[in-house]
Homo-oligomer: A and B are copies of this chain.
Amino acid sequence: MTRQRRIILDALESVRTHPTAEDIYRMVRPRLQRLSLATVYRNLEVLCEQGLARKIETAGTTRRYDGDASEHYHVRCLGCGAIGDVRKAPVSVSRTGLARATDFQIVGHRLEFLGYCPSCKGRRRRGARDAPARRRSGGGDV
């Protein structure tokens, strides 16, 4: 556990914004002026392997990381790309139904919600059009 690793983990755990590697790089830069982005990536990888962090790979967007490694789902804002937490999501999947619907052996699933964050929600209510997506298009896929 190097100085860099500890500081990166601290930064990640100190926010609830699900930052990208770049975000974290900028967050810790003041404390580690000689830091390289590659080191951020490598350490995030290690921290995920150790179960101290989680990758959030929402399709078609830049990868984000979560310092809260507990079980929960995420919701992505279609307005601004922000990621929010969804705790205790009321989702049920029938195992036996699944076995009938595919010849794959299912061992898990990934679920991501799409919606609007509180601030984009307000903006929509007031009639403005969507803010441009912060990263990539993100639209139109299944």
Contact = CB atoms under 8 A, between A and B. Distances in A.
Contacts of A106: 75, 113-115
Most B CB atoms within 10 A — which of A55, A85, A118, A142?
Answer: A142
A109 B107 contact: no
A93 interface: yes
Interface in A85-142: 85-94, 96-98, 101-118, 121, 140-142
A87 B109 contact: no
B104 A113 contact: yes
A66 B141 CA distance: 10
Listed from nearest, the 7 A-B pairs whose CB atoms lie closest are A90-B97, A57-B59, A90-B94, A55-B141, A106-B115, A57-B60, A104-B115
